[in-house]
Amino acid sequence: MELAPRNCPVPLLLLLLGLSTEWYLRKEKVSQLGSCYVSKGAVISQPPEDSKEVWGYVTVRKDAHMFWWLYYATSSHKNFSELPLIMWLQGGPGGSSTGFGNFEEIGPLDRNLQPRNTTWLQSASLLFVDNPVGAGFSYVNKTDAYARDLATVVSDMIFLLKSFFDFHKEFERIPFYIFSESYGGKMAAGIALELYKAVQQKTIQCNFAGVALGDAWISPIDSVLSWGPYLYSVSLLDDQGLAEVSNVAEEVLDALSKELYQEATRLWEKAEMVIEQNTDGVNFYNILTKSSSVSRVVSNLEFTQKHLVHLFQRHVRQLQQDPLSQLMNGPIRKKLRIIPEDCIWGGQAPIVFLNMEGDFMKPVISIVDELLEAGVSVTVYNGQLDLIVDTMGRNRSEGSEEAVSWMELAPCSGEGSDIDVAGGGPFSVTCIHL
Ligand SMILES: *[C@@H]1O[C@H](CO)[C@@H](O)[C@H](O)[C@H]1NC(C)=O
Ligand SMILES: *[C@@H]1O[C@H](CO)[C@@H](O)[C@H](O)[C@H]1NC(C)=O
Ligand SMILES: *[C@@H]1O[C@H](CO)[C@@H](O)[C@H](O)[C@H]1NC(C)=O
Ligand SMILES: *[C@@H]1O[C@H](CO)[C@@H](O)[C@H](O)[C@H]1NC(C)=O
């Protein structure tokens, strides 16, 4: 584990991140073994009785196994072949689409395995993928197999998609959309561009129709710079607080302009702490509520990487709290049958997160620009109560040197009390059509 500083024993870091040492030791043991669990490109599918769902693993690289779960659309008046296919990508990085997106947001069943009143499955087939490798039921067999940058995340997913469309020819002509949330939006932008190219080059046969970026972390600095003004505008900060938040946001901007990405990550966490202190712990995903701050537990430990611990707690841990974790590691694992016995849902998520440390603060604005130039349909939507990626920060007027060229705010109707799509309380969105 190269990320751990010399004076800090790795198990302590993992412990703080919420991993048991027992798991860590097991992880160490398996990481000694070299060969692949599934041969490269192999797909294992085990359709259940009613064959409305399939799932499997794809070995996207040596020692890197990605889990996916497909539900065929269940409209009462349309065949799935007349409805689109949507791939859903969770944030984090390290959040699980097959867990959180599926059971907490848009899938057919909720966390108590009760049918959800509104599920996207009524309008589309849904493909949940646990990415980057190590998220959810995906896993790696060696510590050096985790993704450390967007390029690897993208190429892994392209490998999976090729494999998926090769094995599921029934989806070849169906409009295919990528939907995403938070950090998933950053990954989705990168994946969309490579998928577009792969379709042009005919290396992947699919009808790629567009990408939707929900509360997407595509321009971190624009988000960070807007936090102060946003919170001030809703009276969650006073003048003094605004000055403090603005100062640390400027520090982030400064680090980024020097391309000091790990430093920018550290300062990003500092900015969050300054906000937490000045707002008495506002919930970053719904500013009308307070967060139950797990991070305070470790905040007084002298720990060189504690900023990563805090960031993980806030941005990944909350996606895999106990009830969901118990569901995934209990009844769902049993139903799926193919999850390796020692692969714990969400167990590798902390290390997924740590490995992406140098990538967190890099923008993908230029990738979005390329998508638009290529004529790919891009939709940006935002929860109105979300702080981490607030709507104000969508307008790249401050952090970005380039002129605003592609943002046009267009409120779009959309309310549904059942779905909390991209953070920010009830699903009431502002869409920015591009
Ligand atoms: C639904 O579409 C698939 C693929 O086109 C086809 O094989 C199947 O027969 C259709 N089912 C119904 C009920 O129309
Ligand atoms: C789902 O629909 C039922 C019946 O209309 C209703 O009683 C229930 O409150 C709804 N659940 C949610 C979470 O909205
Ligand atoms: C790879 O990891 C999985 C999950 O931990 C484990 O079940 C499997 O045995 C490992 N394979 C090898 C070759 O180490
Ligand atoms: C968005 O940014 C542009 C360019 O800086 C500015 O003219 C415009 O007023 C901004 N819009 C909002 C709603 O802040």
Go through the domains of the chain in sequence order and give each one's CATH number: 11-214 (3.40.50.1820), 220-320 (no CATH)
What is the rounded end-to-end Cα distance, in angstroms, of the chain?
41
Query: 228, 196 in Cβ contact below 8 A?
Result: no
Q: Is the CB of 139 within 6 Å of ligand 3?
A: yes
| CA distance linking residue 235 with residue 242, whole number of Å | 10
pLDDT at 394: 75
Task: Tell how far the Cα of 171 is from the centroid of ligand 1, in angstroms.
Answer: 12
Task: Tell how far the Cα of 108 is from the centroid of ligand 4, in angstroms.
Answer: 39
Q: Walk along the chain (434 residues) and give the pLDDT tens digit of each residue.
A: 333 333 333 444 444 444 433 333 333 333 322 222 333 344 444 443 445 999 999 999 999 999 999 999 988 889 999 999 999 999 999 999 999 999 999 999 999 999 988 889 999 999 999 999 999 999 999 999 999 999 999 999 999 999 999 999 999 999 999 999 999 999 999 999 999 999 999 999 999 999 999 999 999 999 999 999 999 999 999 999 999 999 999 999 999 999 999 999 999 999 999 999 999 999 888 999 998 655 444 444 344 577 888 888 888 888 888 899 999 999 999 999 999 999 999 999 999 999 999 999 999 989 998 999 999 999 888 888 999 998 888 765 544 444 344 455 444 544 433 333 333 333 334 444 44
| pTM to 2 decimal places | 0.82
| CA distance linking residue 71 with residue 54, whole number of Å | 7
For the chain, the farthest-separated pair of C-alpha atoms sits apart, in whole angstroms, at: 62
Measured by CA distance, the residue closest to atom 5 of ligand 4 is: 397
Q: List all residues whose CB is within 6 A of at least one atom of ligand 2.
A: 117, 417-418
Please give the torsion angle defined by the CA atoms of residues 144, 146, 147 and 148, in that order, rounded to the nearest 10 degrees: -60
pLDDT at 405: 47
Look at residue 318 and give its three-state secondary structure.
helix
HSE at residue 92, side-chain half, CA atoms within 13 A, is 32
Query: 155, 190 in Cβ contact below 8 A?
Result: no
Question: What's the DSSP call for residue 214?
Answer: E
Q: What is the DSSP string of 44-107?
A: -----TT-SEEEEEEEEETTEEEEEEEE----SSS-GGGS-EEEEE--TTT--IIIIIIIIIIS
Task: Tell how far the Cα of 30 is from the centroid of ligand 3, in angstroms.
Answer: 6
Measured by CA distance, the residue closest to atom 9 of ligand 4 is: 397
Measured by CA distance, the residue closest to atom 5 of ligand 1 is: 81
pLDDT at 304: 53
Ligand 3 binding pocket mutation candidate from 40, 141, 337 (most atoms within 8 A of CB) = 141
